[in-house]
């Protein structure tokens, strides 16, 4: 579609034709202005593709920025809370960035593609913030979301599938590593990254090669070697909660879009203390975060397991059954692999400590009749799901 | 000849059947009072009016779109059942001199792509801008249906109101508070340049900040005026505007219908010459005909200048009020063209089937051109290259033109009150031609389609509607004339300088625009003084 096109609300990614072919439901939604499948077949079949075979997801709508120039590293180090100077070439790291008040603007991943050449992947549109932040740095920032066709290939057989599809060198690729390689004859960059908490890879090519990359992967399925399924956003939501990944704009309100005071969140309030580093040069928000680190924590986005089998959808949380309100569930799912009800919840801390007891008031319906149930919730520190195969190198061929 | 009305001793008498006068009257009548509205024209509505000047075409002669009208008032006066429909307007466009255009599409994602076509950075910056603007909107919206506190008073009510005001501010962080003060005092040009880089986009966004004001895009204080055009909503969509079906006269006629349904009375063709005052108390009015009508409360819906300098006797007023009224800033700066069209004009710059003509059309693509348009006005000329807000409501509303024909409303900024030698027909036509020529630059068949044109300069707006200098807001919307300073410090609570006399026009808080809020707020104070049940609605609230 041309930029002048006003007849279609959502733009199509380079994989659109293939997605449409695979979609039995034609159930689409918008993601950063692109038409994206919500569900293509059923959530159950797509979910188990991630957890027990191989899933493919179109990552193109993810915001991407190419950052180059002599100050690229210094600029990124000023932008994000963690120390980017330690990120070696061909490595990837997760990061968040804040405004001057130390409130999180967005999160994403930084790819050190080649020495001095970085790609920042973000949830939301960031060009304005990156440009504002770049004042004084000799750096070039290019939004290249449209110029990169990206696929996420995840699941226990993803290594075997991609190897069968002709990608060489995967056996040596460690988690958060990058290789520039080929799939068949098509040049492609592969990173061992993902949003599922499982073994998985992300493939980065050019839009003109999109069909070639896609077809190389699905030829493996046609040969009957492995089951490979395309997944949509509904499945991604389940597996990312299981993996304990947060979603800015969904689990919390991003700083740039916050209108009401106190509706934004700091990295501490998101449980991201581990990527706030004060032993590095000044970064945006540092002063506010130093101050905050010395105060008792007011609240936190936490992981909860709710007892029973009812999912605490947007539930209010209390410090006891029928107690005082202490928070809200921001995201939730039933976990088929854990047979548990999982939630990401924004809860108030008391004197810097999480509440002793957390109860969810869950509304659910059966045959259109609404019921309410109380479920005790348990705080979880580690991700709900993380399989050893995620980090084993070389991965076991399946 | 002295005419005797149904009764000659009303509980309340309102001068001027504009939308605020009618709103005020409706809430008083709803409370069971015996109310009369007098109107100098033979028709009601003031500047909220639709008239047929060319057979088959109806114009919204003055105000032309609706957004600020408080939904609380709409609901409380049951205006839907009395015939008011407000249909959301879809987007808009700024035509560029280089043949391109910026399309302000109503759909978020298409609009985003369109902004990115001009500047990728602006497409992202608009997220920051929208959130910031919404912060100020949210803050100010909470004050619309409230009487401003008197900060010098120690009355418990004022103290409580002041507390509310402070609490509203308290919801802002310290840095946001500083930002808010900057926003209140900055020019729209400088404010927007802190966000955006594309000239056409800057021009598109800034136009709303100079509409109706005697200020330019680089004049301090214009950033706030943007808020005045962005804080309204149509069904909760803050910032969107709507067409009143049948034209803006439908707003007045619906309020009038609600009012008469509550037993209220309206007399048209009844110009007031004087508010009668005896022993420091208003007792009623004298009409131009000489007829005297008595009322327990007299409410002026005229602007502050006309109220205090024209229909009140100087001897009845404190000199402070006379001086303030004389100094009240109410500069006329706008004109209006209402055009009957034989068909829909083509705009070849737009792709075929483009929805952009459904919304606000502008033909000014840079802040520099906007500022030059203002320079002309300062030199007492109409802008040679004016800023216009042009709409064709008949694309939605079949009731305003014969089938297949259209009506175009063109709001024009800037137009002087008194050009050298004064207004005459030749000058008025030359002003109209300037505007028509500008539109024709972008629409080759436009001139051939024109069936009839109503050209209105500030002179006509003053003569017909009674707005001093033709100022559409009944007084500049600058900080010195807002909140507890509107119209003057000490008189911001709708009570006049003599007992039993009140004000309900847009010269009072929260100011101009078809909002109904001054009328409703004033009614609340009157009912409080009369110890009557408050029939005015409470703010729905944004949170």
| Together in a domain, A52 and A194 | yes
Residue B395 lies inside a defined structural domain of this protein: no
Rounded Cα–Cα distance for residues A190 and A182 (Å): 9
Task: Please tell me the pTM assigned to this model.
Answer: 0.94
Q: Which of B105, B124, B172 sits opposite A128 (nearest CB)?
A: B124
A residues 83-142 lying closer than 8 A (beta carbon) to B: 100-101, 124-129, 131
Closest alpha carbon within chain A to B107: A9
| Of B411, B419, B418, the residue nearest B387 (C-alpha) | B411
Residue B220 lies inside a defined structural domain of this protein: no
Contact A3/B at CB under 8 A: yes
Residue B98 lies inside a defined structural domain of this protein: no
Q: Which of A9, A127, A261 sits opposite B124 (nearest CB)?
A: A127
Rounded Cα–Cα distance for residues A55 and A47 (Å): 8
Rounded Cα–Cα distance for residues B438 and A187 (Å): 54
Residue B513 lies inside a defined structural domain of this protein: yes
More confident call, B505 vs B5: B505
Q: What is the pLDDT of residue B2?
A: 43
Residue A204 lies inside a defined structural domain of this protein: yes
| Together in a domain, A91 and A203 | no
0.90 surpassed by complex ipTM: yes
On chain B, the residues whose CB falls within 8 A of the CB of A7 are: 353
Q: What is the pLDDT of residue B3?
A: 47
Which of the residues A4, A5, A6, A134 would you substitute to probe the B interface, choosing the one with the greatest number of B C-beta atoms within 10 Å?
A: A6
Q: Which DSSP symbol is given to A142?
A: E
Q: What is the pLDDT of residue A236?
A: 98
Give mean pLDDT, residues B173-177: 77
* Per-residue pLDDT tens over the stretch B403-412: 999 999 999 9
Q: Does the beta-carbon distance from A128 to B353 stay under 8 Å?
A: no
Closest alpha carbon within chain A to B135: A259
Which residue blocks in B215-261 are alpha helix, DSSP H? 222-230, 249-261
Residue A183 lies inside a defined structural domain of this protein: yes
Q: What is the pLDDT of residue B303?
A: 97
| Together in a domain, A210 and A335 | no
Rounded Cα–Cα distance for residues B157 and A100 (Å): 39
Residue B540 lies inside a defined structural domain of this protein: no
Contact A256/B at CB under 8 A: yes
pLDDT of B541 > 80? The answer is yes
* Chain B closest-CA separation from residue A10 CA (Å): 7
Burial class of B368 by CB neighbour count within 10 A (0 to 12, 13 to 18, 19+): middle
Residue A394 lies inside a defined structural domain of this protein: no
Q: What integer best gives the mean pLDDT of chain B?
A: 93
Q: Does the beta-carbon distance from A258 to B120 stay under 8 Å?
A: no
Residue B521 lies inside a defined structural domain of this protein: yes
| Together in a domain, A56 and A152 | yes
* Per-residue pLDDT tens over the stretch B268-307: 999 999 999 999 999 999 999 999 999 999 999 999 999 9
Give mean pLDDT, residues B99-125: 96
Q: Which of A100, A125, A258 sits opposite B124 (nearest CB)?
A: A125
Query: Are β-strands A34-39 and A186-191 bridged in parallel, bridged antiparallel, or unpaired?
Result: unpaired
| Together in a domain, A196 and A157 | yes
| Of A327, A353, A360, A361, the residue nearest A252 (C-alpha) | A327
| Of A281, A286, A265, A231, the residue nearest A107 (C-alpha) | A265
CA-CA-CA-CA torsion sign (B2, B3, B7, B10):
negative
Rounded Cα–Cα distance for residues A105 and B25 (Å): 50
| Together in a domain, A115 and A181 | no
* Per-residue pLDDT tens over the stretch B497-527: 999 999 999 999 999 989 999 999 999 999 9
**Share above pLDDT 70 across residues of chain B, in percent, rounded to a whole number:** 98
Domain containing B498: what range? 9-48+66-85+246-327+477-529
- Where residue B273 sits, what CATH number does that domain have? 3.50.50.60
Residue A193 lies inside a defined structural domain of this protein: yes
- Where residue A54 sits, what CATH number does that domain have? 3.30.1360.120
Residues of chain A with pLDDT under 70: 1-3
* Chain A closest-CA separation from residue B99 CA (Å): 14
| Of B215, B196, B151, the residue nearest B484 (C-alpha) | B151
* Chain A closest-CA separation from residue B113 CA (Å): 6
Q: How many domains does chain A have?
A: 3
Residue A188 lies inside a defined structural domain of this protein: yes
Rounded Cα–Cα distance for residues B381 and B427 (Å): 10
Contact A2/B at CB under 8 A: no
Q: What is the pLDDT of residue B464?
A: 92
pLDDT of B4 > 70? The answer is no
| Together in a domain, A137 and A161 | no
- Where residue A375 sits, what CATH number does that domain have? 2.40.30.110
| Together in a domain, A51 and A155 | yes
- Phi and psi dihedrals of A316, rounded to 5? -75, 150
| Together in a domain, A142 and A153 | no
Lowest-confidence segment of A345-349, B69-73, B235-239 by average pLDDT: B235-239
| Together in a domain, A184 and A202 | yes
Spacing of C-alpha A221 from chain mean position: 26
- Where residue A90 sits, what CATH number does that domain have? 3.30.70.1400
| Together in a domain, A260 and A348 | yes
Contact B123/A at CB under 8 A: yes
Residue A7 lies inside a defined structural domain of this protein: no
Q: Does the beta-carbon distance from B105 to A6 stay under 8 Å?
A: yes
Q: How far apart are the first and last CA of chain A?
A: 41
CB contacts < 8 A, A to B, total 66
Closest alpha carbon within chain A to B350: A4
Q: Does the beta-carbon distance from B110 to A6 stay under 8 Å?
A: yes
Residue A238 lies inside a defined structural domain of this protein: no
On chain A, the residues whose CB falls within 8 A of the CB of B112 are: 33
Contact B99/A at CB under 8 A: no
Contact A288/B at CB under 8 A: no
Rounded Cα–Cα distance for residues B457 and B62 (Å): 11
Q: How many domains does chain B have?
A: 1
Rounded Cα–Cα distance for residues A146 and A152 (Å): 16
Contact A4/B at CB under 8 A: yes
Rounded Cα–Cα distance for residues B481 and B495 (Å): 16
| Together in a domain, A26 and A74 | no
Sequence-distant (≥ 6) Cβ neighbours of residue B507 within 8 angstroms: B303, B304, B305, B307, B328, B330, B474, B475, B486, B487, B518
| Of B133, B115, B124, the residue nearest A124 (C-alpha) | B124
- Phi and psi dihedrals of B161, rounded to 5? -65, -40
Q: Does the beta-carbon distance from A125 to B127 stay under 8 Å?
A: yes
Residue A390 lies inside a defined structural domain of this protein: no
Three-state DSSP class for residue A74 = helix
Give mean pLDDT, residues B236-260: 91
Domain containing A159: what range? 16-60+148-231
């Amino acid at each position: 579609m041309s930029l002048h096109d006003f007849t279609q609300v959502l733009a199509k990614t380079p994989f659109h034709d293939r997605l449409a072919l695979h979609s039995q439901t034609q159930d689409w939604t918008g993601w950063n202005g692109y038409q994206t499948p919500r569900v293509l077949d059923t959530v159950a079949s797509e979910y188990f593709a991630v957890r027990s075979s191989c899933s493919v997801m179109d990552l193109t709508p993810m915001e991407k920025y190419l950052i180059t120039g002599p100050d690229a590293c210094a600029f990124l180090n000023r932008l994000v809370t963690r120390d980017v100077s330690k990120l070696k070439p061909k490595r990837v790291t997760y990061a968040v960035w804040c405004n001057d008040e130390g409130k999180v603007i967005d999160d994403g991943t930084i790819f050190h593609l080649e020495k001095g050449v970085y790609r920042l992947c973000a949830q939301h549109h960031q060009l304005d913030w990156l440009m504002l932040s770049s004042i004084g740095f000799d750096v070039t920032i290019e939004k290249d979301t449209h110029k990169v066709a990206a696929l996420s290939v995840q699941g226990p057989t993803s290594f075997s599938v991609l190897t069968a599809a002709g990608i060489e060198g995967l056996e040596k690729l460690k988690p958060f590593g990058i290789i520039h390689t080929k799939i068949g004859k098509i040049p492609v960059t592969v990173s061992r990254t993902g949003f599922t908490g499982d073994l998985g890879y992300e493939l980065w090519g050019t839009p003109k090669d999109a069909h070639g990359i896609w077809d190389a992967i699905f030829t493996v399925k046609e040969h009957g070697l492995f089951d490979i399924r395309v997944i949509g956003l509904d499945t991604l939501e389940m597996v990312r909660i299981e993996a304990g990944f947060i979603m800015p704009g969904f689990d919390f309100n991003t700083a740039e879009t916050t209108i009401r005071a106190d509706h934004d969140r700091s990295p501490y309030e998101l449980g991201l203390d581990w990527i706030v580093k004060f032993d590095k040069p000044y970064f945006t928000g540092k002063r506010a975060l130093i101050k905050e680190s010395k105060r008792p924590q007011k609240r936190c986005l936490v992981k909860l397991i709710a007892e029973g089998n009812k999912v605490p959808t947007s539930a209010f949380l209390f410090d006891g059954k029928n107690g005082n309100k202490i928070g809200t569930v921001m995201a939730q799912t039933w976990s088929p692999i854990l047979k548990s009800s999982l939630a990401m919840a924004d809860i108030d801390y008391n004197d810097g400590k999480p509440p002793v007891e957390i109860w969810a008031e869950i509304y659910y319906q059966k045959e259109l009749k609404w019921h309410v149930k109380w479920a005790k919730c348990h705080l979880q520190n580690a991700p709900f799901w993380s399989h050893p195969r995620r980090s084993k190198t070389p991965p076991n061929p399946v | 000849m002295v005419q005797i009305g149904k009764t000659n001793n009303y509980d309340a008498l309102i001068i001027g059947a504009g939308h605020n006068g009618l709103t005020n009257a409706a809430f008083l009548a709803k409370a069971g009072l015996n109310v009369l509205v007098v109107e100098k024209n033979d028709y009601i509505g003031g500047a909220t009016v639709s008239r047929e000047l060319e057979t088959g075409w109806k114009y919204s002669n003055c105000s032309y779109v609706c957004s600020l009208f408080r939904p609380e008032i709409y609901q409380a006066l049951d205006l839907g059942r009395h015939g008011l429909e407000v249909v959301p307007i879809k987007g808009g466009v700024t035509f560029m001199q280089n043949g391109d255009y910026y399309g302000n599409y109503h759909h978020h994602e298409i609009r985003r792509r369109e902004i990115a076509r001009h500047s990728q950075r602006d497409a992202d910056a608009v997220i920051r801008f929208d959130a910031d603007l919404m912060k100020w909107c949210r803050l100010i919206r909470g004050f619309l249906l409230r009487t401003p506190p008197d900060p010098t008073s120690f009355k418990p009510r004022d103290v409580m109101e002041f507390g509310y005001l402070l609490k509203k501010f308290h919801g802002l962080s310290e840095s946001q508070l500083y930002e808010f003060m900057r926003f209140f005092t900055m020019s729209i040009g400088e404010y927007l340049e802190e966000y955006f880089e594309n000239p056409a986009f800057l021009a598109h966004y800034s136009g709303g900040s100079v509409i109706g004001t005697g200020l330019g895009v680089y004049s301090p204080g214009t950033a706030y005026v943007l808020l005045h055009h962005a804080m309204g909503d149509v069904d909760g969509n803050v910032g969107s505007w709507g067409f009143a079906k049948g034209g803006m006269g439908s707003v007045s006629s619906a309020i009038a219908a609600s009012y008469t349904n509550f037993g209220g009375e309206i007399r048209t063709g009844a110009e007031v010459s004087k508010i009668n005052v005896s022993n420091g108390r208003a007792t009623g009015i004298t009409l131009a005909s000489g007829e005297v009508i008595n009322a327990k409360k007299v409410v002026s819906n005229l602007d502050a200048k006309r109220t205090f300098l024209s229909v009140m006797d100087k001897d009845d007023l404190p000199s402070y009020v006379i001086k303030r009224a004389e100094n009240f800033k109410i500069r006329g700066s706008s004109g209006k063209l209402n055009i009957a069209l034989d068909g829909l004009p083509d705009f070849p710059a737009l792709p075929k089937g483009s929805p952009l003509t459904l919304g606000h059309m502008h033909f000014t693509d840079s802040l520099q051109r906007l500022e030059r348009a203002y320079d002309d006005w300062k030199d007492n000329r109409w802008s040679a290259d004016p800023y216009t807000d042009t709409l064709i409501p008949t694309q939605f509303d079949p009731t305003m033109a014969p089938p297949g024909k259209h009506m175009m409303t063109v709001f024009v900024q800037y137009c002087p009150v008194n050009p050298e030698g004064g207004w005459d027909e030749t000058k008025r036509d030359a002003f109209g031609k300037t505007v028509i020529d500008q539109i024709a630059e972008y629409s080759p068949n436009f001139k051939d389609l024109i069936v009839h044109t109503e050209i209105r300069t500030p002179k006509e707006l003053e003569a017909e509607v009674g707005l001093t200098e033709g100022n559409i807001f009944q007084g500049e919307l600058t900080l010195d004339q807002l909140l507890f300073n509107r119209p003057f410090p000490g008189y911001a609570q709708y009570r006049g300088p003599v007992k039993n006399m009140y004000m309900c026009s847009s010269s009072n808080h929260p100011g101009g625009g078809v909002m109904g809020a001054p009328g409703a707020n004033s009614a609340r104070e009157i009912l409080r003084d009369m110890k009557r049940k408050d029939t005015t609605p409470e703010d729905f609230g944004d949170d």
